[in-house]
């Protein structure tokens, strides 16, 4: 009786339906249904539940996330010192002109890029990655290279993580490359996580989501594009993770340069895509007005809603908002945020989410759903970033781009469904 009442509360029973729908969608888009490894599917889904349960329902998990969140918050306070030294009053959050994105947010990426490079040189990131990889690979039966990249993506960016396995990329199968791409879009990097934390997005939820995205991305990727060939690192061959930096200062300098490149790329992408979305919205608006004028001329009473891109994607994602357990106005807002994430990016979606002042539980759940790089612009980023490392696989990268957005979106939604079921 308790279990039944628990499922009815917050419409949690819909989360179970939602997980089934996500798996069904992945199955329908599968390139080879007969080759799906159902043991991997079951194990990965169970792993997602276990990670979510530990993070949300155990003292150890909650404590770990709490103190890790405090650490992240403290780190971006350190970043503020450098920002305020360079930009002066412009870098102060409490200034009357409010937050200046280019001055107070983007420089954090530069700082965290340098910090990640330093931690990699010191071997700390390798230690974390190796520990998780040691547990994940044998359980899922995936190859060493693809598993390592999926795990690394929860710390590094979608173009940085493949650098760890760059010598293996040319020999990877199409299914392995797909895991590399999906895990890159289903997670966010440590540098970007710090930025979102600064904006007011719940840090603990993003950390838990990044961990859950490891099995989630492998799960969805292996349903949509199952492995049909023998892999070079399938037996768990050891892969060395060595920094190319000569010393600590070289690591800091290299990371700073990489962080600057990433910050400039993020800023440029935001300018271009928000401008393009505005242009497309105007086109859709004029088309709607023109269509309604034609309808009026034909003396029909029905009128088409004035369309925009967010409305279209919000309509597409509305069923998932209900399956997450939301209803009424909250469901509409959640659908709009999901649509914004895919049509523009998660950056803009989080920027819109924070001022909405959603209920605490709703904000946590939608944080899980938005916590990934799954959007159309990232197709270009991956083609450019991974394509440079392995030019002979560029055709695969272009062929798999749209499937990657679909798979990574489903992976994020599955984590959100599990989080909603546990919260």
Whole-number mean pLDDT of the chain? 82
pLDDT in tens, 308-329: 777 788 888 899 999 998 888 8
Q: Confirm if 30 and 226 have CB atoms less than 8 A apart.
A: yes
Q: What is the DSSP string of 379-391?
A: HHHHHHHHHHH-G
Where is pLDDT greater, at 122 or 269? 122
Work out the pLDDT band at 377, boundaries 50, 70, 90.
confident
Work out the pLDDT band at 16, boundaries 50, 70, 90.
very high
Lowest pLDDT segment from 135-139, 180-184, 290-294, 371-375:
135-139
pLDDT of residue 266: 66
Distance CA 170, CA 159 (A): 16
- For residue 239, pLDDT beyond 60: no
- Please compute the mean of the pLDDT values over residues 150-167 and round it to a whole number: 73
- Please compute the mean of the pLDDT values over residues 231-239 and round it to a whole number: 58
Q: Is residue 31 part of a domain?
A: yes
Distance CA 311, CA 305 (A): 10
Lowest pLDDT segment from 85-89, 176-180, 263-267, 327-331:
263-267
pLDDT of residue 410: 94
Q: Which stretches within 165-239 are classed as H helix?
A: 166-169, 174-185, 190-199, 203-224
- For residue 407, pLDDT beyond 70: yes
Q: Is residue 309 part of a domain?
A: no
Q: Is residue 70 part of a domain?
A: yes
Where is pLDDT greater, at 418 or 162? 418
Work out the pLDDT band at 93, boundaries 50, 70, 90.
low
Q: Is residue 94 part of a domain?
A: yes
pLDDT in tens, 188-223: 877 677 778 877 888 888 888 888 988 999 999 999
Distance of CA 113 to the CA centre of its chain: 18
Q: Is residue 237 part of a domain?
A: yes
Q: Is residue 362 part of a domain?
A: no
pLDDT of residue 116: 75
Where is pLDDT greater, at 382 or 22? 22
pLDDT of residue 45: 93
- For residue 158, pLDDT beyond 70: yes
pTM exceeds 0.85 for this model: no
pLDDT of residue 409: 92
pLDDT of residue 234: 58
Phi-psi map region of 196: left, alpha, beta (phi>0 left; psi -120 to 50 alpha)? alpha
What's the domain range around 124? 23-270
Domain count, the chain: 1
Q: Is residue 123 part of a domain?
A: yes
- For residue 382, pLDDT beyond 90: no
pLDDT of residue 15: 92
pLDDT of residue 240: 60
Q: Confirm if 156 and 189 have CB atoms less than 8 A apart.
A: yes
Distance CA 152, CA 374 (A): 17
pLDDT of residue 232: 65
- For residue 128, pLDDT beyond 60: yes
Lowest pLDDT segment from 95-104, 117-126, 284-293:
95-104
Q: Is residue 7 part of a domain?
A: no
- Please compute the mean of the pLDDT values over residues 245-274 and round it to a whole number: 78
């Amino acid at each position: 009786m308790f279990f039944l009442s628990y499922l009815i509360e917050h419409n949690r029973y819909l989360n179970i339906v939602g997980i089934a729908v996500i798996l069904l969608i992945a199955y329908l888009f599968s390139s080879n249904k007969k080759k799906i490894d159902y043991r991997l599917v079951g194990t990965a889904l169970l792993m997602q539940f276990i990670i979510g349960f530990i993070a949300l329902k155990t003292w150890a998990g909650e404590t770990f996330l709490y103190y890790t969140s405090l650490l992240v918050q403290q780190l971006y306070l350190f970043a503020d010192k450098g920002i305020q030294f360079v930009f002066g009053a412009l870098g102060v959050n409490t200034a009357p002109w409010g937050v200046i994105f280019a001055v107070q947010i983007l420089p954090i990426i530069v700082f965290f890029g340098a910090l990640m490079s330093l931690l990699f040189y010191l071997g700390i990131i390798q230690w974390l990655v190796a520990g998780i990889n040691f547990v994940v690979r044998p359980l899922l039966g995936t190859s060493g290279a693809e598993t390592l990249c999926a795990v690394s993506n929860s710390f590094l960016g979608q173009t940085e993580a493949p650098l760890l396995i760059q010598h293996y990329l040319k020999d990877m199968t199409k299914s392995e490359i797909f895991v590399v791409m999906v895990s890159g879009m289903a997670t966010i990097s440590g540098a970007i996580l710090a930025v979102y934390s600064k904006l007011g997005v719940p840090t603990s939820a993003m950390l838990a989501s990044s961990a859950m995205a490891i099995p989630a991305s492998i799960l969805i990727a292996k349903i949509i594009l199952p492995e049909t060939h023998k892999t070079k690192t399938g037996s768990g061959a050891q892969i060395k993770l060595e920094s190319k930096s000569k010393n600590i200062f070289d690591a800091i300098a290299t990371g700073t340069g990489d962080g600057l490149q990433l910050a400039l790329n993020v800023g440029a992408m935001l300018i271009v895509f928000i401008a393009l979305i505005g242009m497309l919205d105007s086109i859709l608006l004029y088309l709607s007005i023109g269509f309604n004028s034609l309808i009026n001329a034909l003396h029909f009473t029905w009128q088409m809603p004035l369309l925009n891109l967010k409305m279209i994607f919000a309509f597409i994602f509305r069923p998932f908002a209900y399956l997450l357990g939301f209803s009424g106005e909250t469901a509409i807002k959640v659908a709009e945020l999901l649509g914004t994430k895919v049509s523009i990016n998660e950056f803009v979606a989080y920027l819109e989410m924070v001022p909405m002042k959603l209920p605490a539980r709703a904000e946590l759940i939608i944080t899980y759903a938005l916590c990934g790089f799954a959007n159309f612009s990232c197709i270009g980023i991956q083609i450019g970033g991974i394509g440079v490392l392995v030019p002979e696989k560029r055709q695969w990268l272009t062929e798999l781009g749209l499937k990657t957005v679909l798979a990574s979106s489903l992976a994020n939604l599955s984590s959100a469904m599990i989080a909603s079921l546990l919260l």
